Structure 1
Amino acid sequence: MAKVIIAEKPSVAKNIADAFKIKTRKDGYFEGNGYYITWAFGHLIQLYDAKDYDESMKGWRFEKFPFIPENFLYKVKCDSIDRTAEDKGAKKQLGIIKALIDKEEVDGIISATDFDREGQVIADELFGYFDVKKPIYRLLLNEWTPDEVKNGMEALKDNKEMQPLQDAGIGRQWSDWIIGINLTSVSTLKYKFEENKTINIGRVLLPTLKIIYDRDKEIENFTATTYYKLVSNFKNSGNEEFEGLYYENESEKFEQKEDLDKLLPLLKGATARIVDKQTELKKEYPPYLFNLSNLQGYITSKYKGWTSDKVLKVAQSLYEKKFTTYPRTASVVLEESLKDRAKKVLDTLKSGLPYEKDIKFTTSKRIFDSSKVESHSAITPTYIKPTGLSADENIVYEAIKNRFIMQFMPIAEFEETKVTLKVNNPEVNGEFISKGKVKLVEGWKVVEKIESKDVILPKVEINENVDIIEAKVNAVTKKPPKYHTEKTLLRVMETCGKGLEDKDEDSDEMMQAILSGFSIGTPATRAETIKKLKDIGYLKTKGKSLMCTELGRNIVEIFPVRDLLDLEYTGRLEKTLSDIEKGKFAKSDFMKLIIDFTVKSVELIKNDTGALSRFKVEIPNGTESVGACPVCGNPVVEGEKSFGCSNWKNGCKFTIWKDDKYIRSFGKNVSKEMVELLLKNGKVGFRNLKSKKGNTFSAYFKYEKNEETGYFNWNMEFIDN
């Protein structure tokens, strides 16, 4: 009997074949030792488009939405250029996989796709598409080295055990289809910011755009302020100079320059006494191992021309070549079960390094802590030393390798000295503080030649007097916040905007935020999201800075489904998917939530008038405006039967009919003069109105929008005679 193994890509199938020394390669698979090892190319099938369910969906029309299929169906994935045709390569590979599964001697299938939500779905959707009845097993690996492949094949799981992971993957897939198809379609019909421009709406796209928008607005609205500080130079008896900063009430910042200027004459030629000296030994630990977001942030901030998407592609390539472990991880520590493997890797990599004698294997909780691993351990090298790396692969590999080796180097140590000085003049109320730092042990910093900026203080003792050589007042202007870079954006996405972007990436708060499951997207999708925002014209770059385009700003400012711009809401959705993966939440409940949300959102967009004011209509020469439209501000013009907004092509429905029955019921007519007054003042007054009982009275008429229905109605306000 034989087994079919399905890998996610040809390179991974070859790794599995290599582990079992299988050399025979045929068209679309390897064969040998009782195995047929074949592969997908990522997703070989995709969800139906709306038009596949219903021909009439080819042309988008408001009344067709919301559109939610009763059952989701799959088809061969589309050609990347001609979306109306099937991808020939995908169709051929599907045929090969099906034929292998159907072979009489095949008594089971092994899913060997990536051990994550998306990898699970890539294989499972094929099993559903083919209606596979044979037993299905799951190979779960974090790296593709021969040792791990063999170990994994001896510890296969029943694929049914992966149901929660499949539910999370399918739930993500279906929910993104429902939100994306419906909201993109109605938004494109509604908001015509640019000719023939699709308005892409997505569960992860919009909150990511909002992060950039918020920072842009912060910078725009920033008001520069200036504070002042007083700096003095001191000289000890040995003619050694050092600098000190003036503090009053534990603050070195002064709003008024005059407060410091008046001290300058008191300091000229004066002396100061050392009133306190504190020396403290401090330790500096290496940064944690890389997760994907930290790796992307590190590379994009250090090297020009790199994007987070490029980092992921290169890291994926290293993983498929067996040189590093699985890259799409949120964890910065390793499972405790990996201690022996990590020691083997360290022993391999340290050989021949100039600091080899300083490298010592340790099982510290900073490195090995299963309680802080979310699905996958941190990214590390494998025991296979790479050869033939491209320049890009070398940059990413060296970063991963160095970060791994740092964990097993001595902790960096330095001595910090703090000296407090009091001026020998009672009129000077505050005190000066000088700080110095001396490196004692370079430790892990030698790995990447990280330079410490040491400020060495001269030797001084308590009660010693020193001379004040010079004192000056410096102005410090507060700078606006910096534009987001891919590094800072990834951090906000990773922690769902919990205000942790300024925290050290090694902080407990950062780790807890990541482990909570609240995030914008996943490690696997964030880079793709940033790339898409650029590709569809919502974001632009200047150097490493990211900022909104005009289109991006328009969408954030007018899009009526505010939940989709809310980081907390999107974080809750991602947390729910994470809970489905852990078996804590039902996929069916999640899908009901998504469908209800989509139905409400579609109606909200259809009835939205928020964007109309962004269209400025020029009326033809010779056409007279009778006033500004109260909905969008464009000219209202007279027609044959009504006075209507000139912005009607873009959806503004403001209209006052000339034969309005309500006005006529009071014995009055809708005239041009009446509409002019109404649009100018918000109301128009009438005298000698006749009630049904025949009484005459005076009243103001207002034409006001009913927010529930979206229609304008007349409201009357009596005028006291």
Structure 2
Amino acid sequence: KALIIAEKPSVANDIAKALGGFTKYEDYFESDDFVISSAVGHLLEIAAPEEFDVKRGKWSFANLPVVPPYFDLRPIAKTESRLKVLQKLIKRKDINQLINACDAGREGELIFRLIAQHAKAPQAIKRLWLQSMTPAAIRDGFASLRSDADMQPLADAARCRSEADWMVGINGTRAMTAFNSKSGGFFLTTVGRVQTPTLSIVVEREELIRKFVSKDYWEVKAEFIAAAGVYEGRWFDPKFKKDVAAPDARENRLWSEAAAQSIVAACRDKKASVKEEAKPATQLAPQLFDLTSLQREANARFGFSAKNTLGLAQALYERHKVLTYPRTDAKALPEDYLDTVKQTMENLAENSSEYRPFAKQILQGDPKDPKAKAGYGWIKPNKRIFDNSKISDHFAI
């Protein structure tokens, strides 16, 4: 039998449903040909071997840099039980092949490789590469499994990233801690490849806020009485141009009260002519949501924090099964997702009073469009929406 290891329990469940014929046990699914189980993200972390690790009391420049000759693997405490389940399955005598079904990307490759390394797995390895979780895409993926040799460059890149991060983190943290503790005491100063530049951006922004000096400005507004009623008008400078040297300048701001008063005096009780122009304009529909754009929209529209939006999206994905995986930086869908989008629109047209008219309009499409597929309407191949080249581990929400 082949043991399929997915990155998350929900993916293992999707694979079992797509392939069919499985019996569910507590921690895995089993059929005549396959056993399916999953990790829960990273189960192992790299660490320096015990004999090469410098203890906290000896964090000094004399003991830097820390460059161990090899790396040990250490189980992550909170997920150790899941690691034991996978080890037990790998060691089963009837398991003669491993299939890596972790997410299609560098981290998914690393999660699987570390598990196989830790368990000293002797079996041959195949790679299931999925960018779409539709049943048809899962079955197609199993029909064209990739070889272990094909995936070796990605595995090397993943391991390199992981070990380089560890080296930057441990050496940077110990160097900065030693520097800040040179006058006595122990002042832990953590450093990380992602953490440190992110903190730098926050600090720079905070410094700009603290250095900000408020400045008075004036705006001129007036009430105009017309046949259709009263409306408010606002003065602006038609010759205004943006200037990098004056970021606070706006077309309707005046920096002198005297200038504002002179405009008021020139306009008070004077007659004015008004001309209204309107012309139709078209614009592209916005792109689909990735996590950042969803958080930005939820903050602007509902005042939700980024953390709150992520929590809601995660619950909609995991508990209610109405959202795709939310931790994504992609704004496109897989090219084989047209049928899934059509099915979603049909569900909305049938079950949602709020979205019914819009879903029906999308499904109806333009009757004069020769490229429109019957029943699909506006749902058709479009690189702004369906584009495999713009997808890495996950696709748009």
TM-score (norm 2): 0.79
The residue correspondences of 1:366-515 to structure 2 (distance < 5 A) are 367-370=384-387, 373-375=390-392, 378-380=395-397
Aligned counterparts of 1:308 and 1:116: Cα–Cα separation in 2: 25
Q: How much does 1:225 deviate?
A: 1.8
1:226 match: secondary structure? coil
Tell me how far 1:234 sits from its aligned partner.
1.9
2:81 — aligned with what? 89
- Name whichever structure is richer in strand by fraction: 1
Q: Where does residue 279 of structure 2 map in the other structure?
A: 280
Contact (CA 8 Å) 1:333, 1:377: kept in 2 or not?
no
Aligned-partner Cα distance in 2 for 1:162–1:34:
23
Q: Secondary structure at the match of 1:229?
A: coil
Deviation at 1:160, TM superposition (A): 2.7
Show the 5 A alignment for 1:132-143: 132-143=121-132
Shifted more, 371-380 versus 350-359: the winner is 371-380
Judging changes above 3 Å, is the alpha-carbon distance between structure 1 residues 123 and 91 closer, same or farther for their aligned structure 2 residues? closer
Question: Corresponding residue for 2:339?
Answer: 340
Instruction: Give the root-mean-square deviation of aligned CA atoms.
Output: 3.3
Measure how far apart 1:320 and its partner are: 8.7
CA apart distance, 1:68: 0.8
Which of 225, 229, 253 is residue 219 of structure 2 equivalent to?
229
Instruction: Determine if contact 2:217/2:253 at 8 Å carries over to the other structure.
Output: yes
Q: Contact 1:9 / 1:42 at 8 angstroms: preserved in 2?
A: yes
2:130 alignment partner, SS class: coil
| 1:319–1:79 CA distance, 2 compared to 1 (3 A) | closer
Give, in whole Å, the separation in 2 of the partners of 1:98 and 1:341. 34
Matches of 1:153 and 1:224, distance apart in 2: 63
Q: What does residue 358 of structure 1 align with?
A: 361
Q: How far did residue 312 of structure 1 move?
A: 6.3
Q: Given the superposition, is the C-alpha separation of residues 183 and 263 from structure 1 closer, same or farther in structure 2, using an over 3 Å criterion?
A: closer
Q: Given the superposition, is the C-alpha separation of residues 130 and 200 from structure 1 closer, same or farther in structure 2, using an over 3 Å criterion? A: same
Distance 2:234 2:184 in 1: 56
In the TM superposition, residue 91 of structure 1 has moved relative to its aligned partner by 5.5
Contact 2:331 2:385 in 1 (8 A): no
Per the alignment, residue 34 of structure 1 pairs with 33
**Within the alignment, does 1:128 sit opposite 2:145 as a pair?**
no
Counterparts of 1:371 and 1:143, CA distance in 2: 10
Q: Distance in 2 between matches of 1:74 and 1:64?
A: 22
Cα deviations across residues 565-589 of structure 1 (Å, max 9, x unaligned)? Answer: xxxxxxxxxxxxxxxxxxxxxxxxx
Q: Are the counterparts in 2 of residues 143 and 322 from structure 1 also a CA contact under 8 Å?
A: no
Structure 1 residue runs of 5 or longer lacking an equivalent are: 81-86, 381-721
1:111 aligns with 2:100: yes
Task: Give CA deviations for 1:242-272 in whole Å, capped at 9, x if unaligned.
Answer: 2323344524333222123234344333212
1:357 aligned counterpart, secondary structure: helix
Seen in structure 2, the aligned counterparts of structure 1 residues 267 and 11 have a Cα distance that, compared at 3 Å, is closer
> C-alpha separation between the residues in 2 aligned to 1:239 and 1:28?
72
Task: Please show how residues 315-334 of structure 1 align to structure 2 within 5 Å.
Answer: 315=314, 318=317, 323-334=322-333
State the Cα distance separating 1:296 from its structure 2 match: 3.1
1:99 matched to 2:74 = no
User: What letter corresponds to residue 98 of structure 1 in structure 2?
Assistant: I
- CA deviation string 1:302-353 (max 9, x = no partner): 5567543871685387169764434343221234343333223322333233
Aligned counterpart in structure 2 of residue 159 of structure 1, from 134, 139, 148? 148
Counterpart amino acid of residue 329 in structure 1: T
Cα separation, 2, equivalents of 1:246 and 1:298:
31
Q: Which stretches in structure 2 are left out of the alignment for 5+ residues?
A: 241-251, 364-376
Percentage of matched positions with identical amino acids: 25
Summarize deviations over 1:356-402 as a string: whole Å, max 9, x none. 4333342374743528614256434xxxxxxxxxxxxxxxxxxxxxx
Give the aligned partner of residue 259 of structure 2: 259
Query: Residue 37 of structure 1: CA displacement?
Result: 1.4
Please state if 1:7 is matched with 2:24: no
Tell me how far 1:122 sits from its aligned partner.
0.7
1:511-660 aligned at under 5 Å gives the runs none
2:158 to 141, 144, 169: 169
Q: In 1, are the aligned partners of 2:7 and 2:39 still within 8 Å (CA)?
A: yes
Match for residue 213 of structure 1 among 182, 186, 203: 203
Secondary structure in 1 matching 2:58: coil
The CA distance in 2 between the partners of 1:214 and 1:182, in whole Å, is: 24
Give 2:167's aligned residue: 178
Partner of 2:59: 61
TM-score (norm 1): 0.46
Bigger fraction of residues in helix: 2
Task: Name the SS of the counterpart of 1:262 in structure 2.
Answer: helix
Cα distance, 1:181–1:265 mapped onto 2, change above 3 Å:
closer
1:665 maps to none
Q: Which residue identity is paired with 1:113?
A: C
Which secondary structure does the structure 1 equivalent of 2:328 belong to? coil
Q: CA deviation at 1:35?
A: 0.9
Aligned to 1:566: none
